[in-house]
Amino acid sequence: MPTECIPFRTTNYFSDFICDYLDAKPELKRLYGHFPTLENFKLQLEEKSKTFQSEGRKVLSEVLLKQYSSLETSEGTATNIQSLKDKNTFTVTTGHQLNLFTGPLYFLHKIVSTINLAKQLSEAYPAHHFVPVYWMATEDHDFEEINYFNFKGTKIRWNSQQTGAVGRFNTEGLAEVYAVVEEAFGPGNYANELKSLFKSAYLEHKNLADATRYLANALFGKHGLVILDADDRDLKHLFIPNMEKELLEQSSYKDVLETNTTLEELDYGIQVNPREINLFYIHDGLRERIVFEDDMFKVNNTDIHWNDKDLIAHLNQAPERFSPNVIMRPLYQEVILPNLCYIGGGGELAYWFQLKRSFESHNVTFPMLLLRNSVLIKTKKQAQKLENLNISTKDIFLKREQFINKKVRQISNIDIDFSDQKDHLQEQFKAMYDLAEQTDKSFIGAVKAQEVKQLKGLEHLEKRLLKAQKKKLADEVGRMTDIQEQLFPNQSLQERNTNFSELYLEFGEGLIERLLQDLEPLKGEFTVLTI
């Protein structure tokens, strides 16, 4: 079935900031390194080759082998893990929270974008090897953001009182969630696959990190995806110099504030605000900020404290207890990975743009930033219904009220668009302005007031007629809004709301295969698929 692409700006679901970046506006150039084109990867390869510490490759590969030791590993993934020791191997990376059963559909879109970009780079630069990496956000602590997924309008939720880094959460209580899943998915071959996948991931693994790794590997392992949990002592040992600089110099705070000023000057919003120290302390269910108060380093809301000498000693002894926040996590990623490109959503990239100056302070190469593929997936039945209702792809992206008004005007047997009348009225008032100008200028205000009054009268009449016509055409309006709601649940993008399971129940593994077939990560447009 056909694949359509439309500009991100046309969808009206993406910020001006991201759309301006996709348009490569010159004023944004200072916020990033190389723009993500196939040709520019040559420059990125050269830069990363010069700055990446080769000793980290062996550590990275060994950590991954340990993390995969109890997991069935595909030949492609095993080869990719081993290849990371080689100086000619580089990664492209996406990251995501440990959402229950993957969370929103864009989890798939992120990873498919990453796999497809690695393939494209391998073809373009055969002297190098490119590994797609999924970075699990195991050190996040906002459990309420990840403890559910939406299924056919219902939230399936996991309740737990655990605290700290979510990747370390044990999976107690997920048996009760499985009982809900089992009933919700119902019978059928694809339903049985999904139920088995959920059960194996969450009931046969001890913590959320292991469960998520199993799940992502089951979905994408055969495509060579490498899944990394960076909450690891050996990996954090590589990051000690950067964490020490953060603790003693607080350079990230200064660098990001400077960049924030630039963003404000450009009239763009600020995605995240830095703290004086952008590290957490994590241990035994604790995840609290490290602060500097009264000439002492302290763990917020605890009695734990150090002087500077003792803090650095503790950092070197137990680096696994130090956790980067949203400002430092990207730097951590680029220190431990031979990475060329980060693939993320609009909100993620917005805060990456705040970090280039901080990377420069640490002498770490800033990666290319690529907006992940965004996708709207229609079934053949839905596509046929849209055609029957004469609803175009451009129409379906309109906000609900605009959508209804436009379609009612199109299908109505009377003309409810008063644009011509408004234009005619304004032309008439031009003559009245000229008359007031030539006779008594004090009347210009009165003319203006009368013009505004009459224009408002026309608008009010237009709205009343439109409302009446909507009522008359209620059946047609209902069918149109129903199909739009199916594709844009809660008047939001499908990929930000719907879980992959809804589509997998209908298409099985063909869903992922179709995404792998059609998504082009460097194309820079929104994709509409009919499956």
% of the chain at pLDDT higher than 90: 84
pLDDT at 266: 95
% of the chain at pLDDT higher than 70: 95
Element housing 283 (H / E)? strand 279-283
Rounded Cα–Cα distance for residues 324 and 345 (Å): 20
Confidence check: pLDDT of 301 > 80: yes
- The single-letter code of the amino acid at 382 is Q
Which position has the higher pLDDT, 474 or 42?
42
**Span of 252-256, 354-358, 441-445 with lowest mean pLDDT:** 441-445
Element housing 6 (H / E)? strand 3-6
Write the DSSP assignment of 213-282 as a string of letters.
Answer: HHHHHHHHGGGT-EEEE---HHHHHHTHHHHHHHHHH-HHHHHHHHHHHHHHHTT---S----SS-EEEE
Which position has the higher pLDDT, 252 or 463?
252
pLDDT class of 152 with cuts at 50, 70, 90: very high
Write the DSSP assignment of 122-164 as a string of letters.
Answer: HHH-TTSEEEEEEEE-TT---HHHHSEEEETTEEEE------S
* Contact indicator for 134, 111 with CB cutoff of 8 Å: yes
Q: What is the mean predicted confidence (pLDDT) over 402-413?
A: 78
Q: What is the mean predicted confidence (pLDDT) over 305-312?
A: 97
What tens digit of pLDDT does each residue of 442-476 get? 778 887 888 777 777 666 666 676 676 667 667 88
Contacts (Cβ under 8 Å, ≥6 apart) of 409: 416, 417, 466
pLDDT at 136: 98
Contacts (Cβ under 8 Å, ≥6 apart) of 452: none
pLDDT at 140: 95
Task: Identify the burial level of 70 via C-beta atoms within 10 angstroms of its C-beta, where 0-12 means exposed, 13-18 middle and 19 or more buried.
Answer: exposed
pLDDT at 414: 57
pLDDT at 244: 98
* Contact indicator for 301, 4 with CB cutoff of 8 Å: no
Model's pTM, two decimal places? 0.90
